Amino acid sequence: MRPIPFPPLQSSVRLALECLSLACALAGCSASAAPLTSERIENAGNEPHNWLSYYGNSRGWAYSALDQINAGNAKNLVVKWAFQLGSQDLQVTPVVVDGVMYVSNKDQQVFALDARTGEMLWRYNYAFADADKMALRTQWRGTQINRGVTVVDDKVLLATWDAFLVALDAKSGKEVWKRQLGNYETGNAFSAPPLIAKDKAILGVMTGEMPNRGYIVAVDVKTGAERWRFWTVPAPDEPGNETWAGDSWKHGCGAAWMTGTFDAHLNLVYFGTGNPCAYWDGEPRAGDNLYTSSTVALDADSGMLKWHFQAVPHDVWDLDNHAELVLVDIPIEGTPAKVGLQAGKNGFFYVLDRTTGEFILAKPFVDRINWTSGLDERGRPVPHVVPTAEGAVLCPGANGARGPGHTAYSPRTGYVYIPVRDMCTFTKVVHKDPEVGKLFLGGEGSPSPEGSQGYIAAVDAASGETKWRYRSRYPMSASVLVTGSDLLFTGDIEGYALALDARSGRLLWRFNTGSGVKGSPISYAVDGRQYVAIPSGQGGLSAFFWPRTYPELANATRGSTLFVFGLPEE
């Protein structure tokens, strides 16, 4: 097989790939020749042929410098291989390390595949600690999610939805260690892979919308021993507890349910946190309810809180601030700055000083926002429409303006690309006392007659101004990938894998995968060829929620297939 020559764009990337291929050919290196150290993960930009972590790098960019596939040839993309993962509701991000792809499914199976051919190298089947009790946990399918694995050193780390972290041998798939880090009977679960910060794997817990407290926990990569734990809802002897009335802190939620980001120079890890509980009934929990619906910056070594920014104080709208903080160095009003960029569920795009947490600016990226009449100079919102016992339409609602799909940042365009779900919810407050292991919503929500919109929004990172939108028939759930040839890859609920021009939003290519796309596209290269992998698979909670808004989706095909695309051979 003769590789397709690289185009003249990004010659440094081409040279790096050619040198790597030549070095491997001369040395006879195998996929496991070099251990995946934390230093390699921190410097992932030096290895554009790999996709080493959830966002591709520790800074949350979801950016690949590869440029072999470009605006001129994207229309020629074909399926190189496909792999059935045997489940449904595929929301994963594959990881590629030196020619081996690691991918998981909702049933907590992990697969190692040859990244060039799709041939399975090994498979791991997770056994739940108490399968009988887990089978009873069908009332809230939201905890039964898996968004991928983390690879570090010689291990593959799987965070499970019965609150364990499992380390597998990367060569064989055999268990190395297994640690319980939460109690699934109270609602604890893990849905996203851990972040690597030096010798630690750091991950946040889901609370399952049940009355418990969220936390972020760090474990030793080698042994699984817990190194520190930060509670997102502080106890009475901790700062911030005064923002909770009475004993409401005991069941305050504040899940940290997405993978964080890491600044190695500042030694800070950043996580977004979810809503307080009960999320629509705020009367019993008077106060700001720290550190829910916030971004927290923690010392990577100790877990000590360095700063926080609460996007939604006293959240009664279910506007989780779960989204990743994207770490970039850009000029703000002509002055170089270390900033964090975040497109929140509340409909605002934020720019924060990532050293101090100081608010710099925020701009709406959706058209309909009624929960606040605006933000003050510190970024604190002024509440406007709130849920009531009689009912109110909240915009964005519980499913908007961002889902779990992550953004992408291009250092070439300076844009952040946001998968948008511009949706409203009709909500009634219903008071309920907390019960262990039971849903604690504080109300009832239903689709709003206002209708909904879906699009990809390209937002200028320095100004927050929206530059273009690509509109979809339905709200967007999949993550976004952007490449060194200014291509954007994503997918939609109809099942199309999409390639857009990252500078204009023009549609360049689409492919019908047969099921809704909810996962995260990635790009990698093997033997001098660039590939794009896009997970496809509708199911889970979305199979329940979407038909309530779009009845025609009631019979949408569910699935779980990983498609890998590339250019035709010459």
282: left (phi over 0), alpha (psi -120 to 50) or beta: alpha
**Which tokens is 460 given?**
């200028």
- Contact present, 272 and 259 (Cβ < 8 Å): no
Q: How far is CA 251 from CA 138, 303, 322, in A?
A: 21, 22, 18
State phi, psi for 16 to the nearest 5 degrees. -60, -45
Q: Based on the residue annotation, tell me whether 154 is a catalytic residue of this protein.
A: no
- Select which of 318, 486, 492, 501 is catalytic: 318
Three-class SS of residue 330?
Answer: strand
CA atoms of 164 and 436, how far apart (whole Å): 20
Upper half-sphere CA count for residue 542 (Cβ side, 13 Å): 31
Cα 339 from Cα 325, distance rounded (Å): 9
One-letter amino acid of 513: T
Full strand arrangement of the beta sheet holding 155-159:
150-152, 155-159, 164-169, 175-180
Going by C-alpha positions, the residue among 513, 570, 568 that lies closest to residue 80 is 568
DSSP state of 4: P
Burial class (CB in 10 A: 0-12, 13-18, 19+), 473: exposed
Q: How far is CA 195 from CA 85, 205, 216, 309, 416, in A?
A: 24, 13, 11, 20, 21
State the distance between the two ends of the chain, measured CA to CA, in whole angstroms: 9
From the number of C-beta atoms within 10 Å of its C-beta (0-12, 13-18, 19+), residue 114 rates as: middle
- Contact 325/266 with Cβ under 8 angstroms? no
Residue 201: beta bridge partners? 196, 219
Written as six digits, the tokens of 175 are 């268990």
**Residue 485 DSSP class:** T
Return the closest-CA partner of residue 452 out of 386, 400, 403. 400
> Identity (one letter) of the amino acid at 383?
P
CA angle 185, 190, 194 (to 5 degrees): 150
Just list the catalytic residues: 318
